[in-house]
Amino acid sequence: MIRTHNLTKSYGPVTAVADLDLDVREGDIYGFLGANGSGKTTTVRMLLGLVLATSGEIEVLGRPMPSQARRVLPEVGALVEGPGSYDHLSGRSNLKTLDSAGPGRIGRGRSKRIDEVLDRVGLDPSDKRPVRTYSLGMRQRLGLASALLRTPRLLILDEPTNGLDPQGIREIRDLLVELNSHGTTIFLSSHLLAEIEQMCTRIGVLDRGRLVLQDQLTTLLSPTGRVIVHTPQTDWAVEVLGDIVESTEAGRIVVRADDPAVVNRALVSAGLQVTELGPLRISLEDVVLRASEDAA
């Protein structure tokens, strides 16, 4: 759905994106991660033909960009930074204006489609207030409605939950997962690691313009082969477990083992008190920080 090769964007002596090789596959919810200023938004704008690359290649939906933009973009929904709108019009009128312009416009059923997408993103289709009265979160919802209007094969979203409260973030997350389950591929640029970890199937990590990691999320968060044990009898537990102990601190032990039940059985059989025990899992935050540190 998206492929880039050696994609580079420079602004004079400053390189914003360098030698980027993205691989977004059909059916992915792809999380594009990186700190502010890492080049995420510049990359998104290049994918959509809003910014021209200095060098390298871009394919979206199997076609080169930006040369094939007129054929590609009608099948792509996008939300980049702050969504634009006519502030004196209602949200519904903004969508009507957008849908009646450009290639791929379909007049039949427009009113129904607009009502449906407004409802899906949590906006009232009957609300006639001008967009200038909208909160930041409502503007984000309207921008997402614009991206969904023509039932795109691919969604490219840059910080789509910006300005939303926790309930709103959850609603948008559920909506994106639902869209993906019905065949929409999603490319999601975000700095909210918790959201990415809950919904994405594949991630890429950008650090100072360079892609330092790209893999399936399940692979990156696979079991570590370690078990963490909490017990007030740390010294005794170390004696019982012996060579499989990897590290200790007051009340906490990390051991090399694949099955927590085996570790628990050994400790309980020896008469120890175990207050907590389970597999040691690596977080997405740990993965991202480690990738960035290794690339430094």
pLDDT in tens, 225-278: 899 999 999 999 999 999 999 999 889 999 999 889 999 999 999 999 999 999
Write down the pLDDT at residue 43: 96
Same domain, 134 and 257: no
**187 lies in a domain?**
yes
**59 lies in a domain?**
yes
Residue 74's domain comprises: 2-220
- Out of 125-129, 188-192, 219-223, the most confident range is 125-129
Same domain, 134 and 259: no
Same domain, 264 and 134: no
**294 lies in a domain?**
no
Same domain, 213 and 231: no
Q: What is the CATH number of the domain that holds 264?
A: 3.30.70
C-alpha 123/C-alpha 143 separation (Å) is 11
Q: Among residues 240, 227, 295, which one has the least CA distance to residue 266?
A: 240
Same domain, 112 and 168: yes
CA angle, corner 98, sides to 97 and 102, nearest 5? 115
Residue 67 half-sphere exposure, CB side, CA atoms within 13 Å? 6
Distances (CA, A) of 255 to 201, 231, 244, 287: 29, 13, 5, 21
Same domain, 99 and 153: yes
Same domain, 38 and 170: yes
Same domain, 6 and 53: yes
Mean pLDDT lowest among 28-42, 80-94, 96-110, 215-229: 96-110
Q: Is the pLDDT of residue 81 over 90?
A: no
C-alpha 174/C-alpha 79 separation (Å) is 17
Q: What is the CATH number of the domain that holds 176?
A: 3.40.50.300
Write down the pLDDT at residue 283: 85
The 3-state DSSP class for residue 237 equals helix
* Mean pLDDT for all residues in the chain: 91
**293 lies in a domain?**
no
Confidence of residue 124 (pLDDT cuts 50, 70, 90): very high
Same domain, 170 and 146: yes
Which pLDDT tens digit goes with each residue over 28-50? 999 999 888 899 999 999 999 99
**30 lies in a domain?**
yes
Confidence of residue 168 (pLDDT cuts 50, 70, 90): confident
**81 lies in a domain?**
yes
**121 lies in a domain?**
yes
